[in-house]
Structure 1
């Protein structure tokens, strides 16, 4: 199911000079913000949770997911170079699975690691806040990567759609409209963070059992459907 050649090409595309620069900006900004908050405000569990939840999980993770998920396949479809990959004796499901693994790895590396570092800077992992948000970033990385990889296979405007989802739905509607939070990857991952943390500084509007089901369900269905769309694209190209 995993193809090293496809993985190497995908890593090269995602970590090229331009994309790598973009990927480093948000994690660096998070750590700078964490250091500034710690310097001016000292150790405060609630403030640490607000920074990690409000910036790291609500903004940084989905945006990095957009870059990695759509970038893993979208540009190849847009410029037509996907045809060369599809002409190789590699199963379409293997292509999608490999690209998903790469997107997840990149999203995790550029979101979970800086979240952990920022958490330690903010309050030294008091109340398990740093670990809680790191786990939330890890599981959110999987769901976001699957969703945005699917977007990359079905639309030439995947980046725009992904940004609208990340910034408008997750951040704006998720904070203003209670019902929208149930359909939010951020809230699903927060349910895990709440379980790990003290349950007072970290809260979620979604129960843990439902959150786990939704995280797994969305990731599996999005990956499966992306494979189906790639198979259709192959047939169209061969015709």
Structure 2
């Protein structure tokens, strides 16, 4: 009796059923990669109601020495920036202004530029302004800044006489007749009037030239922005 060996059947592994009902040999699902978050474009800050954006200002702080160390001239840098703007926005209109400052001015270049170009967001430095000269005809005194000029009675009368004839040339003889009586033993001559005017000017300090000499004719007063004349009531001039 011949016994033929039958081929051994390979036992297929049984599928293990998990508690969740899935097969242990079931192919695993690919885990999806998290989606990339697209960066949002920066939002433009809305302008106040009733207004519209018409352009912008770019302050560039670059002194001449710094520009030289960067091997570029300011004029070339300005030209390059304007060309770039024209290329990116052909409809744009450009205007370049160079900020000037006293040589050796301290501080950051960009801050100097902003102040020089009157940036409203920058506090401007307080500039000491010259208060000028005040000729008070009512109180008969002259104030130069915070100081009262030490004029004599005659010197003030001389100044007042010329000031009240603003814009007109006052002759030396007219001054003598107005300020001295005909029989006054101290009545001066024309040459003496020049001495009186010279003394008056010396007490006016930086404002000596408010009394101008008109060669061969006399003296003249013209109003200036830093000269204030105060007078109330009728003219204090006796004539």
The reply to whether TM is greater than 0.5 is no
The bucket for the TM-score relative to the shorter chain is: under 0.3
TM-score by length of 2: 0.23
Structure scoring higher RCO (CA < 8 A, sep ≥ 6) equals: 1
TM-score by length of 1: 0.23
Which structure has greater helix proportion?
1
Which structure has greater strand proportion?
2
